Amino acid sequence: MIAYVTGAAGFVGSHLCDRLLRDGADVVGIDNLATGAVENLRDAQASSRFTFVQADVSEPWETWIADLSAALQRPAVMLHFASPASPVQYERLALQTMAVNAVGTMHAVAAAQASGATLLFASTSESYGDPHEHPQRETYWGNVNPVGIRSCYDESKRFGEAYVTTAVRKLGIDGRVVRIFNTYGPRMQAGDGRVIPNFCISALRGEPLTVYGDGSQTRSFCYVDDLVDGLVRFATRSGLAGRVVNIGNDGEYTIRQLAEITARLAGTELRLTRDALPPDDPTRRKPDVTLARELLDWQPTTPLETGLRRTLDYFRKG
């Protein structure tokens, strides 16, 4: 099997490449290194079945596929994961984020149409915005501020979802949409503003952990290996064209609980500082993963403490 992964040098993309290579696939990883790093691909690049292409997927697909020696080989799957993903990064790269999720997704669809590959588009729980329904099922349409500070990400992902599912109907491609909920693990960037790297770094330095608001807002946290397992199942099973599936862990923790667990595992005393809640920050978020269980026989298996220990180890070595 030949797999193309856009966003390959990022946190999720690099783990995806590693897993596909372990499964025996030939993998072409495409990335412009806007937020990713080639060091994330150290394991992948040790394989002769891996090719890295530095290119911007917001440019026409011929510019990122044409310069490949593998170009004449048809991919069976394309996993479109290129996009800044943390609020710090997508606010910094707001217009590029909109481009990659809108124009880049149009190019990914065109490439899938030309090659006959199954396309999996990485969308997000942010498609649900600040949800009025809890937990969030795929049938929920969301509560998104279309002009807020997060809209460059939320609305461009929603456009990407609409484009892929419309292309399934109009062009007959095999496109699928995964709504990914908060995922964590090794290779997250230390300074990208997401809560788990923030807490891990502060706890390892013995500094206070910064909690936004009163820390009673909830999140669910999926370990990256569990996510990647669900992604591979979703991308490779037949008969799922046009499907939209949540993948995430349905355990729910307050941010304050997360702070307590992280400090304990890091072996440090819990000290908190408070900061204002960012605008449009959802108060509760948790996936309903019934559909993933039914369609993919998938469920998350890594307990939060196990995943946090591995993540702390990664940052400790960092």
Ligand X SMILES: NC(=O)c1ccc[n+]([C@@H]2O[C@H](COP(=O)([O-])OP(=O)(O)OC[C@H]3O[C@@H](n4cnc5c(N)ncnc54)[C@H](O)[C@@H]3O)[C@@H](O)[C@H]2O)c1
CB of 82 closer than 8 Å to CB of 64:
no
| Least spacing, CB of residue 178 vs ligand X, in Å | 8
What are the beta bridge partners of residue 28? Answer: 4, 51
Pick between residue 96 and residue 202 the one whose CB is nearest to ligand X.
96
* Residue 11: strand, helix, or coil: helix
Q: How many CB atoms lie within 10 A of CB 214?
A: 11
- Residue 103 interacting with ligand X (CB under 6 A): no
- Which residues, at least 6 apart from 154, have a Cβ–Cβ distance to it below 8 Å? 124, 126, 127, 129, 144, 145
Known catalytic membership, residue 153 = yes
CB of 254 closer than 8 Å to CB of 213:
no
- Residue 32 interacting with ligand X (CB under 6 A): yes
* Active-site residue, from 4, 90, 128, 153: 153
Alpha helix stretches (DSSP H) within 136-287: 151-171, 195-205, 224-236, 255-266
Pick between residue 11 and residue 298 the one whose CB is nearest to ligand X.
11
User: What residues from 68 to 97 belong to the interface with ligand X (CB under 6 A)?
Assistant: 81-85, 89
User: What residues from 190 to 249 belong to the interface with ligand X (CB under 6 A)?
Assistant: none
- Residue 56 interacting with ligand X (CB under 6 A): yes
CA dihedral 299, 301, 304, 309 (to 10 degrees): -140
- Residue 7 interacting with ligand X (CB under 6 A): yes
Among 2, 9, 20, 173, binds ligand X (CB under 6 A): 9
Q: Among the candidate windows 177-185, 198-206, 229-237, 287-295, which touches ligand X by CB under 6 A?
A: 177-185
- Residue 122 interacting with ligand X (CB under 6 A): yes
**What is d(CA 167, CA 173) in angstroms, rounded to the nearest whole number?**
6
- Residue 61 interacting with ligand X (CB under 6 A): no
**Amino acid, res. 136:** Q
- Residue 259 interacting with ligand X (CB under 6 A): no
Residues in contact with ligand X by the rule CB under 6 A: 6-7, 9-13, 31-36, 56-58, 81-85, 89, 100, 104, 122, 124, 180, 182-183
